Amino acid sequence: NSNTTFELSRVKDFKKVEMRLQNVNAANLKLTPGIYYWRVSGKNETGETEFSESRKVILIKESGLQLFSPAESSVVNYNSGNP
């Protein structure tokens, strides 16, 4: 294929494309956490546009370790052993 295009979308059917990059081998993207779908398209020998399978990417927000504990005077229920 020629004239390749990388497409990134938040919706699986690509009705709204967030980003479109043409003829690139690599890219650094600054994306917010969430679920994204990507695919590659290009023109075949007859000039028709073909699309790859779409793939899903989930970006998770990286955050530091946080400690949680029950609030003062709260009750923690459990069945057996210490909670």
Q: What residue type is 68 in one-letter code?
A: F
Outline where 1-83 has alpha helix (H): none
DSSP state, residue 70:
P
Please write the tens of the pLDDT for every residue from 3-50.
899 999 999 999 999 999 998 888 888 899 999 999 999 988 898 999
* Per-residue model confidence (pLDDT) at position 80: 80
User: Of 1 and 28, which is predicted with more confidence?
Assistant: 28
As given in the structure block, the two tokens for residue 47 are 């000039």
* Per-residue model confidence (pLDDT) at position 18: 93
pTM greater than the 0.85 cutoff:
no
